[in-house]
Amino acid sequence: MKLPLIPTMETQQKWRKVWFGKTLTDGLLYKLIIYILLISFSYIYLYPLLFMLINSLKSVDDLINPGVKWIPTVLMWENYERAFEVLKLPQSLIDSTVYVLKVSVSATLSSALIGYGFARFEFPFKKLFFAIMLATFILPQQVTMVANMLIFRELKIISSEWTMLLPAMTGQGINAAIYILIFYTFYKTIPGILIESAEVDGAGQLRIFRSVVLPLAIPSFVIVFLFSFVWYWNESFITGLYVGDKVTLPLWLQAFRASYETIFPPGTPGAELNEAILLSGNMLTILPLLLLYFFGQKLFTQSIDKTGITGE
Amino acid sequence: MKKSSHPFKKFFSKVWHTIRKIYLQSVRPFLAKINTLLRHNFIYRERNHQVILFSFIRIRITRRLRHALYGYLFIILWLIGIAFFTLYPLGYSFYLSFHQAYYNLQQGVVTTFVGLNNYLNIFRSQTLVPLYTNYVGKMLVAVPIIIVFSIIIAVLVNMPIKTKGLWRTIFFLPVIISTGPVINELNAQSAITLPNLQGSGIYGYIVNNLPSLLADPLTTVINSMLLILWYAGIPILIFLAGLQKIDPSLYEAASMDGASPWMRFWKITLPSLMPFTGISIIYVVVSMSLFVEPGGILDLTRTHMLVGAPDSAFWFGYGYAAAMAWVYFMLMVLLILGFTRLTREKRVKQL
């Protein structure tokens, strides 16, 4: 075996081909740059989450010690135990899940009906209504909330779940325009022949909707349900205003400091509220959504195509 | 297993059959009777594709009319909702914004007309005007950053790389977990700023050399850089969908003619993504504006509505709160219009 000490033209060219490729875009260097960029961007995205996870496990000494940044010296699972207790966890999780389920299921069902009405039938003022429906996406709830508060007060449903349920049932809830749009674009893709043949067979419009369209629309139902679940779960401002404090888990988190002090009164040795406990409360709050996301992440990330907002 | 399930099956089928029997024998005929009664009475009758109302109004039911009726039937929920929960509140809060309004237990809402005073009070306010200018400035800086950033990421993810799904999952994650209290907590822990950016010379330069009207938005953007980039989640997906619609033969033709990847990006990728910037901008502006930060305008609006004591010196009633929200909404619409106008003009130039 004789290895060439001085690189010949051939090996030089070979290496150049590996690094730069034929057209630069298929070389190793190019790929390396892309991966480095992607990894650094995803570091930006994951940094708050990692920060939360690591700091929630730190002890008080680690929090103060500037030498400890990413790897805590001891894992304080106690933080989580305390946060669990302060958030009243099993019960509050069940309560908020039941509440959000109610609201998001009604939002999903109503937008399925409304989307079908817009997609399948021609009626006077349809274009106007559709434009108004899309415009409600831009309209912040804050503009209407003054009057809505007064309406709910008149209806005597203030600080009850109905304040969220009624708008959700009538297609006016949070981001309702997006849900209706998802269903609308889906119904537009159903071939008209399918529905016409059902019509010829003597099915009424309601029957067609129930037996032909609904079974086809199940994927859209799942997507809309997931999104509305997440968005209603995250909406703490409107929920806190209309329904009341401590309805959903994020609202429990908002009151974390106050409820911590009632459970562990200040002055008790070793029970001071520190950042680690607060952050473990945060982790526990977003944990259900994280689980939901990792099981259904394909549905979430591929749904944008299905909204059809990119179609124009 | 089979043996134990057998009696259950038997039991349930028995129950099911009795229910079915009761339904078929007594409930269904009753329903049918009601149905015929509803279709054949004095007020409403159906005969020969005609609807007869009160025996003298005859309406021919055409296919078009029936379709229109069914259309309204499907969207009737929405019609009720838009009237009660959107259009009426919109009009009412507009009306309130010109009035001084208080809630009185005996009389309900008491309003007195004050003209434009609520709006003037907002512009006179020492605390509100900086909040509004800061909001507009922050938007002007942040929205282009988000759009550029999301285009870059979308292009990167769209390249022939492995584990595409993983990257997509990571970049969409903030949409799922960004709930108000969590972000506020992260904000309090200063976990949403890039440490290097804040420590660098730029930060000090901005604070020392620019007037506060310009410096404040810039510093807020720098301070919450991560949070701002978090809003790129949905725009990234929109741009990705847009990228996938570009015909690959365009790129092939361009590289045949000797265009470098850099050139191809500017001449093919960016122009084809232009139509998608409009919807992304709308999404970003809306979702950024609707985020309620403590001490922000939306938070103040809420306080003005909820604090009940009318004699309190800082409380100006529902009218003031409504006016605050309306100014905010108007600024938001102006921002959206301005940004979308900007991208549209660019597109015309390139054509």
Give the residue on B whose Cα is nearest the Cα of A44.
B226
| Phi, psi at B134, each rounded to 5° | -65, -40
Query: Hey, of B66, B182, B288, B302, which one would you mutate to test binding to chain A, going by the most A CBs within 10 A of its CB?
Result: B182
DSSP at B40:
B
Check A146 against B170: CB less than 8 A apart.
no
CA distance B47 to chain A (A): 18
Taking the CA of residue A289 and the nearest CA in chain B, the distance in Å comes to: 7
Give pLDDT tens digits for A24-39: 666 778 888 888 888 8
What average pLDDT does this structure show over A290-307? 74
Nearest CA in chain A to B235: A304
Rounded Cα gap, residues B92 and B322, in angstroms = 9
pLDDT 10s digits, A49-102 = 888 888 888 877 777 777 777 777 777 777 788 778 777 778 888 888 899 999
Asked if residues B82 and A172 have their Cβ atoms less than 8 Å apart, the reply is yes
Q: In angstroms, what separates the C-alpha of A3 from chain B's closest C-alpha?
A: 35
Alpha carbons B247 and B245: distance in angstroms, whole number: 6
More confident residue, B20 or A306: B20
Q: Looking at residue B1, what is its pLDDT?
A: 45
CB-nearest to A114 from B77, B189, B234 is B77
> Which residue of chain B is at minimal alpha-carbon distance from A177?
B78
pLDDT band at A109 (very low <50, low <70, confident <90, very high): very high
Interface membership of B155 toward A (CB under 8 Å):
no
Beta bridge mates, B108: B104
Most confident among A298-312, B94-108, B180-194, B311-325 (mean pLDDT): B94-108
Of A149 and B105, the structure prediction assigns the larger pLDDT to: A149
Closest Cα in chain A, distance from residue B222 (Å): 14
- Distance, in Å, from the CA atom of B126 to the CA atom of B204, rounded to the nearest integer, reads 26
3 state SS of A79: helix
Q: Do B186 and A121 touch (CB under 8 A)?
A: no
pTM assigned to the model: 0.81
Residue B351 has pLDDT above 50, yes or no: no
Lowest mean pLDDT among A59-73, A199-213, A272-286, B310-324: B310-324
A209 to chain B: which residues are within 8 Å by CB? 74
Nearest chain A CA: its distance from B6 CA (Å): 31
Q: Which of residues 206-265 of A touch B (CB under 8 A)?
A: 209, 230, 233-237, 241, 250-251, 253-254
- The tokens for A100 are 């959000």
Point out the residue among B173, B177, B286 whose CB comes nearest to the CB of A137.
B286
Residue pair A115/A180 in contact by the 8 Å Cβ criterion: yes
CA distance B265 to B262: 5
Model pLDDT for residues A126-138, shown as the tens digit of each residue: 899 999 988 888 8
| Distance, CA of B167 to CA of A47 (rounded, Å) | 15
Predicted confidence at residue A312, as pLDDT, reads 41
Q: What is the pLDDT of residues B42-92, one digit of tens each?
A: 777 777 777 777 777 777 777 788 888 888 888 888 999 898 888 888 888
Question: Above 60 in pLDDT, residue B309?
Answer: no
SS3 B247: coil
Q: What angle do CA A180, A181, A184 make, to 5 degrees?
A: 85
Which residues are CB-contacts of A5 (< 8 A; sequence separation ≥ 6)?
none
Partners of A167 on chain B (C-beta within 8 Å) are 81, 85
For an interface test with A, give the residue of B74, B187, B260, B272 to mutate (most A CBs within 10 A): B74
Instruction: Answer whether residue B350 shows pLDDT above 60.
Output: no
Q: What is the pLDDT of residues B264-283, one digit of tens each?
A: 888 888 888 887 888 888 88
Q: To the nearest whole angstrom, how far is the Cα of B84 from the nearest Cα of chain A? A: 9
Quick check: A276 pLDDT over 70? Answer: yes
Region A200-214 average pLDDT: 86
pLDDT computed for residue A27 by the predictor: 73
Interface probe, candidates B61, B63, B64, B77, chain A, greatest A C-beta count within 10 A: B77
Is the pLDDT confidence value at B311 over 50?
Answer: no
Instruction: State the DSSP string of B188-232.
Output: HTT-SS-HHHHHSHHHHHHHHHS-HHHHHHHHHHHHTHHHHHHTT
- pLDDT score for A309: 54
Contact status, residue A283 vs residue B183, Cβ threshold 8 Å: no
User: What whole-number distance in Å separates Cα of residue B351 and Cα of residue B348?
Assistant: 5
Interfacial B residues in 90-109 facing A (CB < 8 Å) = 90, 92-93, 96, 103, 108-109
> Closest Cα to residue B322, out of A41, A256, A150?
A150
Q: Do A310 and B179 touch (CB under 8 A)?
A: no
Average pLDDT of chain B is 79
pLDDT at A114: 92
Query: pLDDT tens, B98-139?
Result: 888 776 666 767 777 887 888 888 888 777 888 888 888 888
Cβ within 8 Å, pair B70-A309: no
* Chain B stretch 261-320, residues whose beta carbon is closer than 8 A to a beta carbon of chain A: 261, 275-276, 279, 282, 286, 289-290, 292, 298, 301-302, 305-306, 318
Q: Which of A227-231, B104-108, B259-263 has maximum average pLDDT?
A: A227-231
Say if residue B171's pLDDT is above 80: yes
Q: What pLDDT, on a 0 to 100 scale, did the predictor assign at position A1? A: 55
Residue B40 has pLDDT above 50, yes or no: yes
With contacts defined as CB-CB under 8 Å, which chain A residues touch B93?
143-144, 146-147
Find residues 71-110 of chain A whose CB sits inside 8 Å of chain B: 110
pLDDT over 70, % of chain A: 88
Which has more confidence, A220 or B350?
Answer: A220
Tell me the pLDDT band of A105, cut-offs 50, 70 and 90. very high
Beta strands in chain B (DSSP E): 44-47, 50-53, 57-60, 99-104, 108-113
Lowest average pLDDT, out of A98-102, B139-143, B157-161, goes to B157-161
Task: Return the pLDDT at A284.
Answer: 85
Average pLDDT over residues A130-158: 83
Alpha-carbon distance A269 to nearest alpha carbon in chain B (angstroms): 24
